[in-house]
């Protein structure tokens, strides 16, 4: 017997031949289970990410096995590893090239805060140049932690209102980063 | 190091450049020759063209900063003779006010990026370099980060404060 599970349907009104729910819930469920991550892997966290993608941990179980190496088609930017100050503008450009809605996951101590590289050449946390949704602690984090981070992202994706990206709060947040 | 080659090396340098040699040392059996800064290119070319020695590979080119010395900057050249498998280290001192020395790109094309790196990190100006600009650090950096007066640590960290790390 198959052990494949399909996603739980959102709350709605069901009857013979129809199912009614809110657009937010339907879109949220679809987005949540079909994230296209863009891996921005610069160091050892990238190696842990490879383990996360491989058979033992298998990120594909969460619908995120299709990595997008073009920012234009990606939903989730996964920043994994030390980002030097010289790499900063590149990362920012990649983020700006992604289409809305987009989420950012910062993996490991270096991406989140600079980590042990408290030095003149390293960016002290990517949240100085782009907004971050979920931080994964660790140096490097175990694949289980990465999966946990992805689940947290999925939770955000599922519950995000369709109008959030039009809100003044969101625009003000982007303004803080000097975007748009 | 081979005694015969060592003698040849020191003899040729003494006879050709006598007064331009400031000192000769041999720490860890690695011949280290400090020379006057105006003569570096001439000496390196001489060693390059020398019939027997043939120092034709530039292993490294860098500099150090000694803030307590009169002439604070020291440019270091590592040469390797692939034929004889011997190495020599050549040093020259510069004052921090006029950190200028002639470029070695005329002798070794590979000196190009090494000199850019040395300029980037320590502000040594290589006169005659074809493209002397920053190579590793961000272009808008205004300091030379490996000079001792600049702090190594980035000053914007919020998670490291005196109560936790005694910084």
Q: Where are the domains of chain B?
A: 3-143
CATH number, domain of A167, equals 3.40.50.12280
Which residues of chain A have a CB within 8 Å of the CB of B159? 113
Give the pLDDT band of residue B113 (cuts 50, 70, 90). very high
CA-nearest residue to B152 within chain A is: A119
Sign of dihedral through CA atoms B25, B30, B34, B40?
positive
Nearest chain B Cα distance for residue A77, angstroms: 24
Which residues of chain A have a CB within 8 Å of the CB of B160? 118
Q: Which among A11, A7, A64, A6 has a CA at the least distance from the CA of A38? A: A64
* B138, B150, B154 ranked by CB distance to A124: nearest: B154
Contact B154 A122 (CB under 8 A): yes
What's residue A6's pLDDT? Answer: 81
Cα of first residue to Cα of last residue in chain B, in angstroms, is: 46
- Beta bridge pairs of residue A136: A107
Asked if A75 and A103 count as a contact pair (C-beta separation under 8 A), the reply is yes
Is A8 part of any domain? no
Number of domains present in the structure of chain A: 1
Asked if A77 and A38 count as a contact pair (C-beta separation under 8 A), the reply is yes
Q: Of A83-92, A99-108, B150-159, which gets the smallest average pLDDT?
A: B150-159
Cα of first residue to Cα of last residue in chain A, in angstroms, is: 52
Is A58 part of any domain? yes
Is A160 part of any domain? yes
What is the value of ipTM here, to two decimals?
Answer: 0.77
Is A124 part of any domain? yes
Residues A63 and A153: their CA atoms lie apart, in Å, by: 12
Helices (H), chain B: 3-17, 40-49, 111-122, 162-165
CATH topology of domain B3-143: Beta Polymerase; domain 2 (3.30.460)
What's residue B165's pLDDT? Answer: 59
* Domain boundaries, position A113: 35-176
| Range list of β-strands (E), A42-140 | 76-80, 103-107, 134-136
Contact A119 B153 (CB under 8 A): yes
- Beta bridge pairs of residue A79: A40, A106
């Amino acid at each position: 017997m198959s052990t494949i599970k399909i996603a739980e349907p959102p709350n709605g009104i069901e009857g013979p031949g129809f199912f009614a729910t809110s657009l937010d819930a339907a879109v949220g469920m679809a987005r949540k289970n079909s994230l296209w991550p863009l891996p921005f892997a610069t160091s050892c966290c990238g190696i842990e990410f490879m383990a996360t993608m491989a058979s033992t941990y298998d990120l594909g179980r969460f619908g995120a096995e299709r990595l997008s190496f073009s920012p234009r088609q990606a939903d989730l930017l996964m920043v994994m590893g030390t980002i030097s100050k010289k790499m900063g503008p590149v990362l920012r450009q990649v983020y700006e090239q992604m289409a809305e809605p987009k989420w950012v996951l910062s993996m490991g101590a270096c991406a989140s805060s600079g980590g042990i590289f408290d030095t003149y050449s390293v960016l002290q946390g990517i949240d100085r140049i782009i907004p971050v949704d979920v931080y994964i602690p660790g140096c490097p984090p175990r694949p289980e932690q990465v999966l946990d981070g992805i689940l947290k992202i999925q939770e955000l994706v599922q519950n995000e209102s369709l109008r959030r990206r039009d809100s003044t709060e969101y625009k003000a947040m982007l303004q803080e980063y000097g975007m748009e | 190091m081979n005694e015969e080659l060592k003698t040849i090396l020191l003899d040729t340098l003494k006879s050709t450049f006598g007064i331009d040699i400031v000192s000769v040392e041999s720490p860890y059996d690695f011949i280290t020759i400090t020379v006057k800064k105006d003569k570096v290119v001439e000496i390196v070319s001489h060693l390059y063209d020398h019939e027997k020695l043939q120092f034709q590979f530039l292993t490294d080119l860098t500099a150090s900063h000694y803030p307590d010395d009169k002439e604070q900057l020291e440019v270091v050249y590592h040469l390797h003779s692939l034929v004889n498998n011997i190495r020599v280290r050549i040093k020259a001192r510069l004052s921090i006010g006029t950190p200028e020395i002639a470029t070695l790109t005329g002798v070794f094309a590979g000196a190009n990026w090494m000199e850019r790196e040395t300029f980037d990190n320590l502000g040594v100006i290589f006169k005659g370099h074809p493209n002397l600009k920053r190579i590793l650090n961000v272009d808008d950096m205004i300091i030379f980060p490996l000079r001792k007066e600049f702090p190594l640590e980035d000053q914007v960290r919020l998670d490291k404060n005196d109560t936790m790390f005694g910084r």
